[in-house]
Amino acid sequence: MKRSRVLLMAAILTIAVALGYSPLRAQTTNPRSAPGSYTAAQAAAGAKLYEANCSACHGATMRGPAGPALIGDAFTAQWTNEPASDMYGLMSKNMPLGDPGSLKPAEYLEITAYLLQRNKYPAGPMPLTQARLKTIKIVSPSS
């Protein structure tokens, strides 16, 4: 019985390595170069929602004038090493400023996808979900 467990684990490890999965690589992969955790369609929808609900405070360039910057070093300095779920939680409870929490959860996800896109996180085939937000770590552009 013990030998069969060892053989099963060896087989799983062999398949994982053959497919390119590695626990060490998973821990060190830069989220900006890993396959995306949102779709391009989500980011495009998020751009429209951002323009309608966020740009008055955060600006068309996402650098202010009234709200904090949502792009570049100022953004990553605020969220470095935090999961994207923290950013989503703050946004979904407190934004837009005049009507906090007024958007649908899917709309907040689309805006989050747009923020990730503008911060050079790549799009991918899988849509952004609340569960996936916990797996996306905000990192500085040089990480």
pLDDT of residue 28: 37
Tell how far CA 142 is from the center of its chain: 17
User: Can you tell me the mean pLDDT for 22-50?
Assistant: 73
| Whole-number CA gyration radius for the chain | 18
Query: Quick check: 37 and 135 in contact, CB under 8 A?
Result: yes
Q: Phi and psi of 57, rounded to 5°?
A: -95, -45
pLDDT digits (tens, 9 = 90+) for 110-141: 999 999 999 999 999 999 999 999 999 999 87
- Report DSSP letters for 5-53, one per residue: HHHHHHHHHHHHHHTT--HHHHHH--TTTSPPSS-HHHHHHHHHHHHHH
Residue located via tokens 């609900």? 53
pTM over 0.85: no
Task: Say how many residues make up the chain.
Answer: 143
pLDDT digits (tens, 9 = 90+) for 44-102: 999 999 999 999 999 999 998 899 999 999 899 999 999 999 999 999 999 999 999 99
Confidence of residue 27 (pLDDT cuts 50, 70, 90): very low
Q: Is the pLDDT of residue 13 over 50?
A: no
Confidence of residue 7 (pLDDT cuts 50, 70, 90): very low
pLDDT of residue 33: 60
Give the whole-angstrom CA distance, residue 132 versus residue 22: 19
